[in-house]
Amino acid sequence: MDILSSAKMLWDYHHMNHKLEKADCIIVLGSHDTRVAERGAEVFLQGYAPAIVFSGYLGALTLGSWERPEAEVFAEIAMKKGVPQEKMLIENKSTNTGENFLFTKQLLFKSGISPQKIIAVQKPYMERRTFATSRKVWPEVDVLVTSPEYSFEAYPNDEITLDKVIDIMVGDLQRILAYPSLGYQIPQAVPGDVLEAYKFLVSAGYTSRLIK
């Protein structure tokens, strides 16, 4: 077992591999990775839904470094990609994944939109936690999850380094294990080899995103 093969195992596990279908709304969850906004715009422009919501204030990775809410930055990126402003809604108060869905649900209902199926757009290594959270917070809708279409090897860049990606994936795996008992998301089965890879990466020092 080594760091790269263990990290790749977590990367593959975090992907839901959903096949996109027509939906009532696209929800783009804010983060430090602006490629998520580009993927949200791409899905909208491909005609998968008639409306798109950008959700997010500032989170752990943008607080202190971004001057504007993630949702507003993402919406601006999407407009530059060709998404009409009148097809957008902005939810700029949420600070975590649960609030992304809760506050977006409230915003949509106030806008007279009651979706039956949504597409959630998130970072590649947060697909599974996003799905599990959505099923807890908004169980009455069907949820498909997608993300920027990068391989594990191609995803890291100067701003989001390989070590940062691994740290975040380890933290997200811990949350998948811990959050159901706290009421934050539905349980997800974790295969034994994935659990062993997670433990190996923790022992290798990838602990900066672990919760106490």
pLDDT of residue 66: 77
Cα gap 201→2, rounded to integer Å? 9
What pLDDT band is residue 61 in, cutting at 50, 70 and 90?
A: low
Cα gap 201→97, rounded to integer Å? 24
Give the type of residue at 89: L
In a domain, 182, yes or no: yes
Cα gap 207→204, rounded to integer Å? 9
In a domain, 175, yes or no: yes
pLDDT of residue 62: 64
In a domain, 150, yes or no: yes
116-173 pLDDT, tens digit per residue, is 999 999 999 999 999 999 999 999 999 999 999 999 999 999 989 999 999 999 999 9
**Average pLDDT for the chain:** 95
Domain count along the chain: 1
Q: How far is CA 65 from CA 29, 32, 47, 56, 159, in A?
A: 18, 10, 34, 15, 12
Cα gap 131→7, rounded to integer Å? 20
Residue 36: pLDDT over 70: yes
Residue 108: pLDDT over 90: yes
Instruction: Tell me the CATH number at 98.
Output: 3.40.50.620
In a domain, 163, yes or no: yes
In a domain, 209, yes or no: no
Contact by Cβ (8 Å): 186, 132? yes
What is the arrangement of strands in the sheet containing 117-121, beginning at the earlier edge strand? 88-91, 52-55, 25-29, 117-121, 142-146
In a domain, 41, yes or no: yes
Phi, psi of 134 (to 5 degrees): -60, -40
Cα gap 135→129, rounded to integer Å? 10
Cα gap 130→151, rounded to integer Å? 19
Candidates 168, 146, 159, 165; CA nearest to 39 is 146
Cα gap 70→92, rounded to integer Å? 7
Q: How far is CA 86 from CA 43, 78, 90, in A?
A: 17, 12, 11
In a domain, 211, yes or no: no
Stretch 93-111: mean pLDDT: 94
pLDDT of residue 176: 97
Range of the domain at 166: 3-203
| pTM, two decimal places | 0.93
Residue 60: pLDDT over 90: no
Number of C-beta neighbours around residue 108 at 10 A: 21
pLDDT of residue 31: 87
In a domain, 125, yes or no: yes
Number of C-beta neighbours around residue 100 at 10 A: 31
Stretch 98-124: mean pLDDT: 95
